[in-house]
Chains A and B, each alone.
Chain A
Amino acid sequence: MVGFYSSLLSSEWLVPGRNLFLTIHVLGIVCFAYIVAKRVVPLVRAQGDPRFDHPWTRLGRVLKFWLGQWKHPRYKFAGTIHILIFAGFILLAARAFSVLIVGVSENFVMPGLSGRTGYIYNLVTDYASTVVFLCMVVAGVRRLVFKPARYAVPAKYGKSHTPDAVFLLGLIAILMVADSLFAASNVAGHAQRGQPAEALATLSLPWMLQILIGSMPLATLWVLNVTAYLVHELTFYFLLCYRPFGIQFHVETSLFSIYFAKLERGRLKPVRWNVPDEHLDLVKSFGVKTFEDFTWKHMLDFYSCADCGRCADNCPANAAGRPLAPRFLTIKARDYAFRHYPVLGRANNGKPLIGNIYSEDEIWSCTTCGACEEECPLLVEYIDKIVDLRRGMIDDGNVPQSLQKPLKALESRGNPYGRMEKKRADWANAAEFQRSCSVKIFDGKSSAGILYFVDSITSYDDRMQSIGRSTSRILTHIGGGFGILGAAERDSGHEVRRFGEEMLFMALRDHNTDAIKASGVQRIVTADPHAYNALKHDYKDVPPVEHISQVIAREVKGGNIRFHRVENEDNVYTYHDPCYLGRHNRIYEDPRAVLDAIPGLKRVEMKRSRDRSFCCGGGGLMLFYEPKEEQRMGVLRVRMAAEAGANVIVTACPFCLVNIEDAIKVAGLEGEMSATDLTELVDQHLTREGCPEKAKELETTTCGG
């Protein structure tokens, strides 16, 4: 059986128009190529970005995130619609191609789609185009009637995007209808002439159209057929050439943005990819100041944004009313690219971004929590761009006064509070604490296997020192010997780097690396997820690092740690995933396993948990920044805990603890809600008796080696 595309009727009807169709092809393709070439221009001028490594891994991710639409179901309704549309497009690709060629080569049959295969393919694609059409209608109604909040465009960002979105939905719908009408009119034509024709898929759009037009005179069918064909071709090429002017460009660029997407999380882009640390002094300008300072992949990201708003919908800064919404970071940059690298006209470049399309507060507002990157179905990257923009501002000396003070203190004293280095380990010397646990400080003479990296807030903040003490007692209980760097320790520099002060970060990192190496340890443990992330991803040549929750979970599993019954049975606990433990480093289950090992502990999950956890407000330097916001992220989070029915929030990060305890006061929930660190809870509930080796160790005055 021959596919109806090659039936005599269709080619006869289309033959007179062959030249026209051919012309449209040529014009369309030339236009598209020209437009794409113009769009590529800024990428050619951009900074380099090595994304050509690990091709198989990248291909695997293309299969997962592009073909598999992996992130889409995170928003069930929109995700389903998109998966259907995407699947439809993939399926319809061959059909569209065939239809387009048939106008100039009447006997064209797609290789592999002849005979029975072709017939089945046509049936499937009949349904595909129907589904796509229905999805267009549903999407259009959704946009116009239901208006999901995340599509809204606040006035300061310009006009609503809905008209353009609906316009595109309409065009795709027209494309489906044109294709269906072309098929329907072909089959109807055959039927009227008594020639054999393939059946159209029952209840599909072409099928229904065929019923509608089947009894029309042949001449009318001829008109419909040619018109449908022309509309199809014109719409196809219009869409092809229009897409690079808006969010639909993601249809073409998504494959690339996903292929070239960043492979490692938690790791930051260096100042310049091809410039090692030692040569950074030679770089004239740090960071992104003008559009051309972005890398080509970042520019590709700007093109690839589909304006779905999922990033901004999950952005805690946006929820708090700060002047930051990731979506508009991208859209504004994209619009800048369109304006300054127009398809028609000369490129004009080099304008500073801050003060033009971005405000300073917008860029300082980000806590680098990563929620945006976690949601984006196109794997658009944000953190590297924010850090690069901050690097640019730091380079220009454009830093809010509130941040200058802690930065200066970090430079002189190695901690943002300006406290003296020699007092960094005072928390371990508190008399009462000394009696229950003696903390060894590495002095170059003796050594132990584990380094407990305390970091600045736990060392100096009165409240957070309790985390230091709890962690020490837990490590003592586990045994194996540990020590701290004491006055030799400096701030890990995690936020220093993420706030764009790369040189200061490097100084802190190098100092700490030397001190760590001098201690001779083989493992590092920390209770601070920011320090954990820094030691894991920002530092080189240091021993492997674990977060204390991982250590505890392992010991619980191995039976070395046992808990007595929870102290207050009435409490309902909820675990708040710290961004740098959870989302960035995927450690979700260990802390939960620890909590669940405490007998009688009632635990509930907040709606936003694990990779959807809501940032507490940020750590490190973010504690010093004074944002413009409508309310605090911490307050929003505390309310989420209350909503989940919890009255105790457990977290595993000192910054989360600071922000949440503050927020409880600000929200007026003192007495109703409280917060505690995992280490404090564990320390409180550890069963210390009944283990002779442990008891013996505790008798000695020094623990740790």
Chain B
Amino acid sequence: MEILVCMRRVPDTSENEIELNVAGNDIERDELVYSVNEADNYAVEEALQIRDRVGGNVTVVTVGGEDDEEVLRRELAMGANQAVLISDEEFSGSDGRGIATILKDFVQRGNYDLVLTGVQADDGAAQVGGMLAAMLDYPFASLVNSITVDGEKLKVSREIEGGNRELNEIDLPCVLSIQTGINEPRYVGMRGIRQVASVPISLLGASDLGVEKTAVGEVAAKVRRLDYFVPAPSKGAEMLHGRREENAHKVLELIAARGGLK
């Protein structure tokens, strides 16, 4: 099975403290550490496991720049067969739809049976996967937490409310967005990355893909982020400022008053 995983390099939320910069127009990016988006990493692991079960090939692709090579390499170290970096000045400022357009043109050049993305990245939009599927006119399923290959079809389950799972059958080729926790990704260490240090990463630009210029980039973006800000705190909680003992006492009084101390 030919599997493509679309991924993205993002600031690692667990190893960074996200704060506004001094100017107040962006987050402080000086000392951020970046890594592959967590959900995308789960998607790559899932792709590798499917490949190891039924045979095939796993390609990882990202739209970005030089800095993104390091995450592509990490996924190569994890076991992906090929890595592709799509980069062009024309693409900068693209919104989610623009990115999906670029990826659509890439997918159409290839012959992929299955396209995976992570459910969402740091901007929480959860959109590229669904848009890509619609542009390609492939069936789509989001929040996928298990995949079984069944001949020319897949059985996928989706995460829905209450911890329940929605079981679907979906035709190939299709696009799936993968939820975290679907598997246990294998570890990639420094050694693994060094071993793939000289594996070539394909570099493709706008003209290689035949991307329509009016469909991408800042000009084409229908959605623009204007700024970052931290909202002024609303009334919020009544904070207790006493010593620990006093606070505990107060909390328990409040609980008991609401019938919570049986």
A and B in direct contact, judged by CB atoms within 8 A? yes
Instruction: Give the interface of A toward B (CB within 8 A).
Output: 280-281, 286, 394-399, 401, 403-405, 407-409, 411-413, 418, 420-422, 501-504, 507
- 13 chain-A/chain-B pairs, Cβ below 8 angstroms: A281-B195, A397-B188, A398-B186, A399-B187, A404-B187, A408-B15, A408-B35, A411-B190, A418-B15, A420-B17, A503-B194, A504-B189, A504-B190
Q: Which residue of B lies closest to A396 (CB)?
A: B186
Asked if B192 is an interface residue, CB under 8 A from chain A, the answer is: yes
Q: Closest CB of chain A to B15's CB: distance in Å?
A: 4
Q: Which residue of B lies closest to A403 (CB)?
A: B187
CB <8 Å contact, A503 and B187:
no
CB <8 Å contact, B35 and A412:
yes
Residues in chain B near residue A507, CB distance under 8 A:
190
The answer for the CA separation of A422 and B194 in the assembled complex, in Å, is 27
CB <8 Å contact, A286 and B191:
yes
Q: Which residue of B lies closest to A280 (CB)?
A: B191
Question: Can you list, as one digit per residue, whether each of B2-36 has a CB less than 8 Å from chain A (1) or not (0)?
Answer: 00000000001011110000000000000101010
CB <8 Å contact, B189 and A281:
no
Question: Top 10 closest A-B pairs, CB basis?
Answer: A397-B186, A399-B187, A418-B15, A503-B190, A412-B33, A503-B191, A397-B187, A404-B187, A412-B15, A418-B14
Q: Which residue of A lies closest to B78 (CB)?
A: A397
CB <8 Å contact, A407 and B187:
yes
Q: Which residue of B lies closest to A504 (CB)?
A: B190
Residues in chain A near residue B12, CB distance under 8 A:
412, 418
Q: Which residue of A lies closest to B192 (CB)?
A: A397
Residues in chain B near residue A399, CB distance under 8 A:
186-187
Residue among B12, B15, B187 having the largest count of chain A Cβ atoms under 10 Å: B187
The answer for the CA separation of A408 and B192 in the assembled complex, in Å, is 13
- How many residues does chain B have at the interface if contact means C-beta atoms less than 8 Å apart? 21
Residues in chain B near residue A403, CB distance under 8 A:
187
The answer for the CA separation of A183 and B100 in the assembled complex, in Å, is 96
Q: Closest CB of chain A to B179's CB: distance in Å?
A: 16
Q: Closest CB of chain A to B58's CB: distance in Å?
A: 15
CB <8 Å contact, A398 and B187:
yes
Q: Closest CB of chain B to A143's CB: distance in Å?
A: 44
The answer for the CA separation of A405 and B185 in the assembled complex, in Å, is 11
Asked if B184 is an interface residue, CB under 8 A from chain A, the answer is: yes
Contact A413 to B15, CB < 8 A, known contacts A397-B78, A503-B194: yes
CB within 8 Å of A: which B155-193 residues: 184-192
The answer for the CA separation of A408 and B78 in the assembled complex, in Å, is 14
Q: Which residue of A lies closest to B79 (CB)?
A: A397
CB within 8 Å of A: which B31-73 residues: 31, 33, 35
Given contacts A281-B191, A398-B187, 17 further A-B contacts (CB under 8 A): A281-B194, A394-B189, A394-B191, A397-B79, A397-B188, A397-B192, A399-B187, A405-B14, A409-B15, A412-B33, A420-B16, A420-B31, A422-B31, A503-B189, A503-B194, A504-B189, A507-B190
From B35, B184, B188, B192, contact of A401 by CB (8 A):
B184
Residues in chain A near residue B79, CB distance under 8 A:
397
CB <8 Å contact, A413 and B189:
no
Q: Which residue of B lies closest to A502 (CB)?
A: B191
Q: Closest CB of chain A to B87's CB: distance in Å?
A: 24
Residue among B15, B185, B188, B195 having the largest count of chain A Cβ atoms under 10 Å: B15
Q: Which residue of B lies closest to A401 (CB)?
A: B184
Residues in chain B near residue A281, CB distance under 8 A:
191, 194-195
Q: Closest CB of chain A to B52's CB: distance in Å?
A: 12
The answer for the CA separation of A394 and B191 in the assembled complex, in Å, is 10
Residues in chain A near residue B17, CB distance under 8 A:
420
The answer for the CA separation of A408 and B186 in the assembled complex, in Å, is 12
Q: Which residue of A lies closest to B13 (CB)?
A: A418
Q: Closest CB of chain B to A425's CB: distance in Å?
A: 15
Q: Closest CB of chain A to B65's CB: distance in Å?
A: 20
Q: Which residue of A lies closest to B17 (CB)?
A: A420
The answer for the CA separation of A547 and B190 in the assembled complex, in Å, is 31
Residues in chain A near residue B195, CB distance under 8 A:
281
Q: Closest CB of chain B to A410's CB: distance in Å?
A: 10
Q: Closest CB of chain A to B214's CB: distance in Å?
A: 39
Q: Closest CB of chain A to B181's CB: distance in Å?
A: 10
Residue among B78, B185, B186, B190 having the largest count of chain A Cβ atoms under 10 Å: B190
The answer for the CA separation of A503 and B193 in the assembled complex, in Å, is 11
Q: Closest CB of chain B to A408's CB: distance in Å?
A: 7
The answer for the CA separation of A382 and B16 in the assembled complex, in Å, is 38
Q: Closest CB of chain A to B194's CB: distance in Å?
A: 6
Q: Closest CB of chain B to A246's CB: distance in Å?
A: 38
The answer for the CA separation of A286 and B191 in the assembled complex, in Å, is 9
Residues in chain A near residue B192, CB distance under 8 A:
397
Residues in chain B near residue A396, CB distance under 8 A:
186
CB <8 Å contact, A407 and B189:
yes
Q: Which residue of A lies closest to B77 (CB)?
A: A397
The answer for the CA separation of A399 and B31 in the assembled complex, in Å, is 28
Residues in chain B near residue A422, CB distance under 8 A:
31
CB <8 Å contact, A413 and B186:
no
The answer for the CA separation of A420 and B28 in the assembled complex, in Å, is 13
The answer for the CA separation of A501 and B188 in the assembled complex, in Å, is 10
CB <8 Å contact, B190 and A394:
no
Q: Closest CB of chain A to B221's CB: distance in Å?
A: 31
The answer for the CA separation of A395 and B195 in the assembled complex, in Å, is 11
Residues in chain B near residue A504, CB distance under 8 A:
189-190
Q: Closest CB of chain B to A486's CB: distance in Å?
A: 15
From A395, A407, A413, A418, contact of B191 by CB (8 A):
A395
Q: Which residue of B lies closest to A496 (CB)?
A: B189
The answer for the CA separation of A502 and B185 in the assembled complex, in Å, is 20
Q: Closest CB of chain A to B91's CB: distance in Å?
A: 27
The answer for the CA separation of A409 and B17 in the assembled complex, in Å, is 13
Q: Which residue of B lies closest to A415 (CB)?
A: B15
The answer for the CA separation of A407 and B187 in the assembled complex, in Å, is 9
The answer for the CA separation of A624 and B33 in the assembled complex, in Å, is 21
Residue among B12, B185, B188, B189 having the largest count of chain A Cβ atoms under 10 Å: B189
The answer for the CA separation of A409 and B15 in the assembled complex, in Å, is 7
Residues in chain A near residue B184, CB distance under 8 A:
401
Q: Closest CB of chain A to B44's CB: distance in Å?
A: 12
The answer for the CA separation of A705 and B216 in the assembled complex, in Å, is 61
Residues in chain B near residue A421, CB distance under 8 A:
31
The answer for the CA separation of A418 and B18 in the assembled complex, in Å, is 13
Q: Closest CB of chain B to A76's CB: distance in Å?
A: 46
The answer for the CA separation of A286 and B33 in the assembled complex, in Å, is 28
Q: Closest CB of chain B to A281's CB: distance in Å?
A: 6
Contact A394 to B33, CB < 8 A, known contacts A281-B194, A405-B14, A409-B15: no
Residues in chain A near residue B33, CB distance under 8 A:
412-413
Residue among A399, A403, A504 having the largest count of chain B Cβ atoms under 10 Å: A399
Q: Which residue of A lies closest to B48 (CB)?
A: A397
Q: Which residue of B lies closest to A505 (CB)?
A: B190
Q: Which residue of A lies closest to B190 (CB)?
A: A503
The answer for the CA separation of A394 and B188 in the assembled complex, in Å, is 8
Q: Which residue of A lies closest to B34 (CB)?
A: A412
